[in-house]
Structure 1
């Protein structure tokens, strides 16, 4: 069997294999993922009411819920949440797209990888929160500094994972593309990008999580709205319930981001779900 026949057969197999993560099985997995946080909240509520934990620092979830409803009615929670989501989206796109492009170039072209990889290896271990003062010095206290922090958080995981994904592609596929006269753009579009998709999605999940952490940190300094600003403002007034509201909303955003990426992964990388 030729390489082209093997590739065609593999594509047909991927289309016909029934994914195990569909239907009732998928819903059972999602319910299981929701059940564990609910059980934790119930245990927390019982412990707070029974006096097993200090309610000054660990207020009951019901108390936090009442504070959340009050903030929702006043519009404060909505305004801060949308401010964070707006910065998160802009920064993720601003850092993710260059990370994706550079990662593919580094994976396909060895000279580019040899030139750029040492720079990434040297700068990636630097704590991103440690460079916040420098970012504020360069970009000021406005929106650009917040977006740059998010972009930095998204860039590294996506670039590193994309490079690893391209390098994992069997070289025979690049040879086939070269034999059929595929140019650089076609090699990028039909071989490197699809072949590295599982790694790209992993990098996107990691980048989104790190970006969410960094935007909360960035909003604690110099921001006038956002979930990070809300948490810091609550700390200054010792409003513990409001602090937990901010933390819960950030946790909820992270949970929803994971669900969105998982669903996107099932749709664009169906063969990965069969493993």
Structure 2
């Protein structure tokens, strides 16, 4: 297991190195200020104010975390309800399928009209990105659990709470983590758009501010930091999957 992790880290570092080589070659070929060299960007990154970066990253992480938690709470409840109740599934299924295809980024002006340009609209947009995918994934995951699994627990005297804790929740959590892993990139992209408006903090604001000042090294440094935030979140989801989904192995 440890060897596999070391090999995985080595592969990641190798790919990162190759990406920087391609970047440097593109910089030499283009020879224009709009594409600074990797060295200039890393230099700009290391000279960024630590307090300013911590503040901007902190705001972005808070918005992502709040949106994900809201989507998980609402999506888990609705998904479980639809997965375990045929009646509720019939009632809510048309609603989910009619609203799910709507491109959520197109709702950004509507959300901002109703909830303003503050934190609420930013968190709601992230929640909307994840919500319907969590609902559908949880519902399908719960429905896929064989009924005889519950029969076995019933035969040994398990309560409803025990059935939920040992069968329903692990089945739902498995698909939730997969859904979050897939949707997180989209949620971060939407966060970038929401942070352009009505805020003075967040990585989206930081990147656009550097762009407007024509400070391209700082702009690329902000993009790399924003990407690093996304990468860390992916690692966190992978850790949670490893920690709580050991039964799948």
TM-score normalised by the chain length of structure 2? 0.90
**Counterpart check, 1:45 vs 2:24:** yes
Aligned mates of 1:206, 1:109 — CA distance in 2: 27
Matched, 1:71 2:48: yes
CA displacement at 1:208 relative to structure 2: 2.8
Q: Is it true that 1:216 corresponds to 2:192 in the alignment?
A: yes
Unpaired runs of 5+ in structure 1? 1-21
The partner residue of 1:193 within 161, 169, 182 is 169
Closer, same or farther in 2 for the Cα pair 1:109/1:54, shift >3 Å?
A: farther
Match of 2:38 in 1: 61
The reply to whether residue 153 of structure 1 matches residue 129 of structure 2 is yes
Q: Is the contact between residue 95 and residue 152 of structure 1 (CA under 8 Å) also seen in structure 2?
A: yes
Q: For residue 201 of structure 2, what is the aligned residue in structure 1?
A: 225
Contact 1:153 1:211 in 2 (8 A): yes
The equivalent of 2:75 in structure 1 is: 99
Query: How far apart, in 2, do the equivalents of 1:125 and 1:85 lie?
Result: 27
C-alpha displacement at 1:215, in angstroms?
A: 1.3
Report the CA distance shift for 1:183/1:39 in structure 2 as closer, same or farther (over 3 A): same
Partner of 1:28: 7
Corresponding residue to 1:88 among 64, 71, 84:
64
* Distance in 2 separating the partners of 1:222 and 1:159: 30
Equivalent pair of 1:155/1:207 in contact (CA under 8 Å): no
Structure 1 runs, 4 residues or longer, greater than 3 Å off: 175-187
* In structure 1, C-alpha distance between the alignment counterparts of 2:137 and 2:13, rounded to whole Å: 29
Distance 1:27 1:44, change over 3 A: same
**Inter-CA distance 56–119: structure 2 relative to 1 (3 Å threshold):** farther
Deviation of 1:134 (Å) = 0.8
Alignment partners' CA distance in 2, 1:256 and 1:56 = 30
User: Is the partner of 1:172 in helix, strand or coil?
Assistant: helix
Indicate how the Cα distance of structure 1 residues 210 and 184 shifts in structure 2: closer, same or farther if over 3 A, else same. Answer: farther
Cα deviation code 1:7-50 (max 9, x no counterpart): xxxxxxxxxxxxxxx211122113212321222112312432xx
- Structure 2: stretches of 5+ with no match in the other structure: none
How much is the aligned-residue C-alpha RMSD, in angstroms? 2.0
Matched, 1:174 2:153: no
**CA 1:117 to 1:183, structure 2 compared with 1: closer, same or farther past 3 Å?**
farther
Distance 1:155 1:54 in 2: 44
Q: 1:47 to 1:210 in 2, by over 3 A?
A: closer
SS in structure 2 of the partner of residue 259 of structure 1: helix
Residue 122 of structure 1 corresponds to 98
